[in-house]
């Protein structure tokens, strides 16, 4: 994740990273095995966040939404109980659609 996001970091303080990408940006809090993003603006940055999740083989768990699988084989790796409400996402637009549907 850090390699994918790195070129687009405009401010960094500890785990906090501010991103600018394409038509928008996001604030992220990044650790070795997790990330939280907020203040996401624009459409392009969603593709960047998805690319980072794919590179790290992470699922995306938006609040009050289905768990978003970003790569094949992730369903089998989910903890018990999380496998019931999932959706695959391959683009930032698909990820945004899942979040906006709630």
**Could you tell me which residues are beta bridge partners of residue 62?**
none
Q: Where are the domains of the chain?
A: 2-100
pLDDT of residue 37: 97
Residue 15 predicted with pLDDT over 90: yes
Inter-residue contact 89 to 70 (CB < 8 Å) = yes
Residue found by looking up tokens 């709630």 in the block: 102
Residue 102 pLDDT level (bands cut at 50, 70, 90): confident
The CA–CA distances, whole Å, from 10 to 14, 31, 72 equal 13, 17, 32
pLDDT of residue 6: 97
Residue 17 predicted with pLDDT over 90: yes
Residue 77 pLDDT level (bands cut at 50, 70, 90): very high
Enter the tokens of residue 93. Answer: 């637009």
Q: DSSP letter for 4, please.
A: H
Q: Which helix (H) or strand (E) holds 52?
A: helix 44-56
Residue 91 pLDDT level (bands cut at 50, 70, 90): very high
Enter the tokens of residue 8. Answer: 């687009």
Q: What is the mean pLDDT of the chain?
A: 96
DSSP string, 89-100: --SHHHHHHHHH
Q: DSSP letter for 78, please.
A: S
Residue 100 pLDDT level (bands cut at 50, 70, 90): very high
pLDDT of residue 3: 96
């Amino acid at each position: 994740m850090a390699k994918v996001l790195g070129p687009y970091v405009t401010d960094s303080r500890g785990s906090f990273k501010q991103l600018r990408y394409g038509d928008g940006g996001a604030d992220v809090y990044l650790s070795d095995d997790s990330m939280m993003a907020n203040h996401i603006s624009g459409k392009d940055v969603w593709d960047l966040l998805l690319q980072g999740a794919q590179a790290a083989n992470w699922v995306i768990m938006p609040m009050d939404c289905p768990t978003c699988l970003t790569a094949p084989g992730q369903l089998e790796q989910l903890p018990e109980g999380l496998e019931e409400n999932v959706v695959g996402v391959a683009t930032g637009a698909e990820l945004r659609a899942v979040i906006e549907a709630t």
